[in-house]
Structure 1
């Protein structure tokens, strides 16, 4: 039988009524002739509650027991979904991660997939079961301990199952009805995309779009898993939502497909760093060790003095990592690894990005972007580019205006 993977997020299974609504969508696919693997998240708010209980019980908790507790939310949802399907006369059973088994590394709360053997679930399909309801976000280590996959783990679980079982498609049901050209809350002109390429979706996800988790898109791109993003709260058909697919499935691409933004960015500049071989490694090595997620990097000549060249090194990072970055740089200077005159921090910036695989074959994208921002008197602080992306840092107060201006400049409201 053809196989489909369907994933339901926390808001889609928030209570028994919503679980029943999700089960009706599964039943419809079974009636169309599919065997279905359903991946479920914990009911909305449940994981946060479980994490809170762990932290109250043991501030310096054992990560193995943390995983045992927080994974239980998905187990509850899986059992309730299987029961609901059974009440609809759909042969279904629930599976916890260790029962499949979903084999992962031993990095508790941040585990990675090793393998998903098919034998156990295939055997149940052969017996006449039509639906396997699998608890997302979890697996089992070589030591036999329950592991969890970290933020967005259920999305990643769904894609991994679609790859392992060669599914026809992986449908991600969420609280939005697809992927838009930008956030509809910022501009009413935002348009739902019918299709978007893996590379574009990966860039948008990493740049701030919250529709899909970055790891799940990376996995889908690697294994060519066709993803469909659609709403749990609307009647849907085979043409609903947005299909995330290979570039070859998209007939013709516009230069820009979407505008993404990230509000919580900070710009940090090391002033008057000695320009010598290895200086970048001396700066970014300690930042990596401190767990600072550095994004945009710009280096420029600062000053020529005393017969030696100096440089300013600017980089961006999330605002909640600024103190960690400052300490890493202060420690590096104290150890003599890096010398700099000053560390200037600006925590009032936002990152705006335009993304599109069409940039490869369209000239003038950067010029259009910069003219649109200039027309609104928005100053650009930092610019970085890649083959399908241009990102800028601007003052945060101009973030929404910048998104609207760029959406208009590239006429993204037009199909």
Structure 2
């Protein structure tokens, strides 16, 4: 039988009525002739509740016990979904991570997949089971301890199962009806995309679009797993939602497919750093050791008079998530005190946002940067930092202009029109 993977997020299974609604969608796919693997998240709010219980019980908790507690939310959903399907006369069984078994690394709270053996689930399909309801977000370490996969773990579980079982497609059911050219809450001209390439989706996800987690898109692209994003709360058919697929499935695309943004950015500048080989390594090695996620980097070389002679110096500017600023400052100040690097000042700007345009069409079209910068200039939006890749251009701007910039860029590239 052809096989389909369906994933339901927390809002899609938030209560018994929504679990019943999700089960009805699964039954419809069974009636279309599919065997189905369903990946479920914990009911909305349950994981946060479990994390709160852990932290209240043991602020310096054992990570192994943390995973044992926090993974239980998905187990509840899986059991309830299987029971609901059985009530609908659909042969279904729930599966916890250890029963598959989903083999992972031993990094509790941030485990990675090692292997998903097919034998146990395939055997049950052969016996007449039509739906395997698998608890997402969890696995089993080499030490036979329960592990969890971190943020976006259920999306990643769904993609991993689709790859392991050679699924025809992996459908991600969520609270939105697809992937848009930008956030509809920011621009009322945002348009739902019928298809988007893996690379575009990966860039959009990493740049602030929250529909899919970066890790799941990365895994889908590596294994060529076709993803479909669609709404749990609407009647859907085979043309609903947005298909995330290989570039070869997209006959012709617009130069720019979407505008992404991230509010929670900060800009940090080390002023008057000695310009010498190894200085960038000293700075960013220090930040990496401190767990700071650096994004955009700009280096400005200049000269200064020092004790009667001229020497080259540099200002080093970078962006990072705003919640990592304190950690970055502490790490850089400690490195300076240890004489690992020197600088005259550290300037921090926490009132910035990152806005990006993304599109595989940028590879073969000139003038994208010119159009982008002209549109921002027309709205009197000043650019602080620029970063580019083959299919994206990102700028750092004052946060107060973020929504204006998104709307201006959406208009400039006419994203409200189909390609």
Distance of 1:238 and 1:36 partners within structure 2 = 15
The runs of 4+ residues in structure 1 deviating greater than 2 Å are 302-307
Instruction: Please state how far the C-alpha of 1:308 moved relative to its aligned partner.
Output: 1.5
Residue in 1 aligned with 2:241? 241
Deviations 1:357-411 (A, max 9, x none): 0000111000000000000000000000000000000000000000000000000
Residue in 1 aligned with 2:138? 138
Distance of 1:388 and 1:187 partners within structure 2 = 22
Once the two structures are superposed, the pairs formed by residues 6-405 of structure 1 within 5 Å of their partners are: 6-306=6-306, 307-405=310-408
Structure 1 gap ranges (5+): none
Instruction: Please state how far the C-alpha of 1:305 moved relative to its aligned partner.
Output: 2.7
Deviations 1:330-372 (A, max 9, x none): 0110111110000000000000000000000111000000000
Residue in 2 aligned with 1:408? 411
Deviations 1:121-141 (A, max 9, x none): 000000000000000000000
Deviations 1:157-202 (A, max 9, x none): 0000000000000000000000000000001100000000000000
Question: What is the number of equivalent residue pairs in this alignment?
Answer: 415
Instruction: Please state how far the C-alpha of 1:304 moved relative to its aligned partner.
Output: 3.3
Distance of 2:173 and 2:82 partners within structure 1 = 17
Distance of 2:304 and 2:104 partners within structure 1 = 53
Instruction: Please state how far the C-alpha of 1:302 moved relative to its aligned partner.
Output: 3.4
Deviations 1:208-255 (A, max 9, x none): 000000000000000000000000000000000000000000001111
Distance of 2:294 and 2:62 partners within structure 1 = 29
Distance of 2:119 and 2:174 partners within structure 1 = 29
How does the TM-score come out when normalised to structure 1?
1.00
Distance of 1:58 and 1:187 partners within structure 2 = 44
SS at match of 2:350: strand
Deviations 1:74-106 (A, max 9, x none): 000000000000000000000000000000000
Distance of 1:268 and 1:323 partners within structure 2 = 11
Deviations 1:255-288 (A, max 9, x none): 1000000001000000000010000000001100
Distance of 2:216 and 2:305 partners within structure 1 = 49
| Residues 207, 353 of structure 1: 8 Å contact kept | yes
| Residues 271, 302 of structure 1: 8 Å contact kept | no
